[in-house]
A = this chain, B = another copy of it.
């Protein structure tokens, strides 16, 4: 029987690359997508297309109304505008409180139910927006917490987080993805969530920079 992995799949470039990495390792893929009222709702459509591309057995989309109702982030709160890329050290207003903590916790429950031994998440601490829950020290601590929290972890030491992009720049992530034939034309990254990517938000900025540095052309349409 093939070993199983849960992949947190947003529809973006990084999580699509994780799908490619996990498939390459030989895992049966169980992507998990979260609908938390993000302005970039089209993410979910893209996540579905990516899941389809990889012919996964099951793709769950989990509605998280609570995170939406809490507000306080430019990504979910209509009253807060998504800013252009600033490039400073501050945690930006696009920060969603405890997002990766929540995603990984729900992925843990799912992994334990389907019997997966890994949870893949596409965080990077190199080219990123400065969110605390993307740092390697968070991922390491969370992995240990998951081991202690679960029956699978407590009894068999199984169930770990894999963050294969953790130390990769966007350029290196894209190079890796191209080698693995990740369908980047199916991905979406823009925080503003229009039909075409805006090209100026944090996320677009990092993506475009990555493709440029890799000497490649981003296959998705921009405004």
- Chain A residues within CB distance 8 Å of chain B: 60, 62-63, 65-67, 70-72, 91, 95-102, 104-106, 108-110, 112-113, 132-133, 135, 137-138, 141-142, 144-146, 148-151, 153-155
Contact across chains for B113 and A132 when beta carbons are under 8 A apart: no
User: Given known contacts A97-B108, A132-B153, is B72 in contact with A113 (CB within 8 Å)?
Assistant: yes
Copies in the complex: 2
Bound-state CA distance A60–B68 (Å) is 13
User: Given known contacts A71-B113, A91-B155, is B145 in contact with A106 (CB within 8 Å)?
Assistant: no
Contact across chains for A150 and B65 when beta carbons are under 8 A apart: no
Bound-state CA distance A138–B145 (Å) is 6
List 5 interface pairs A-B (beta carbons < 8 Å), by A numbering: A63-B66, A70-B113, A97-B112, A102-B105, A102-B106
3 shortest A-B CB distances, which residue pairs? Answer: A132-B154, A98-B109, A97-B112
Bound-state CA distance A23–B102 (Å) is 27
User: Given known contacts A66-B62, A71-B113, is B138 in contact with A97 (CB within 8 Å)?
Assistant: no
Report which of B63, B70, B145 forms a contact with A109, defined as CB distance below 8 A.
Answer: B70
Report which of B62, B66, B91 forms a contact with A151, defined as CB distance below 8 A.
Answer: B91
Report which of B65, B67, B112, B133 forms a contact with A98, defined as CB distance below 8 A.
Answer: B112
